[in-house]
Amino acid sequence: MAVKLIKISVVYFVIGVLIGMYMSMTEAFDFTPVHVHINLLGWMSMALAGLIYVGFPKAAETTLAKVHFWLHNISLPIMMIGLALLVSGVDSAGPAVAVGGTLMVLGIIVFAINIFKNVKQ
């Protein structure tokens, strides 16, 4: 799971940087929340989780690690597409943000459980 998390985090990093570049070029910063969340929850959080799993391979081999990976990677696009629509004026996109956000929190809780359960000295 470590390598998968690190590789997918780089994909989110590229997406986040491209959104930032677009906003800079157009001088329209409506998508700042999307840019920030993709960089934080996509790039940074996944890269750090991947590095933690490199250091603690026992935790990386668990079902909890797989569940975390999939919840994170299903919820983030749902939440970010919903957020992009929401800041673009599509008020009906709120539930997508809520569903994606809830799944993200569940994924992070699964990650935390995995860490507390399987990361030992």
pLDDT (tens digit, 9 = 90+) per residue, 46-100? 999 999 999 999 999 999 999 999 999 999 999 999 999 999 999 999 999 999 9
Q: What is the largest CA-CA distance in the chain?
A: 50
**Model confidence, pTM:** 0.91
Confidence of residue 121 (pLDDT cuts 50, 70, 90): confident
Integer Cα distance of 75 and 57 in angstroms = 24
The count of domains in the chain is 1
For residue 51, the enclosing domain spans 1-118
Percent of the chain with pLDDT over 90: 98
- In whole angstroms, how far apart are CA 26 and each of 13, 31, 39, 88, 116? 20, 11, 20, 15, 45
Residue 41: the pLDDT is 97
Neighbours of 9 (CB within 10 A): 21
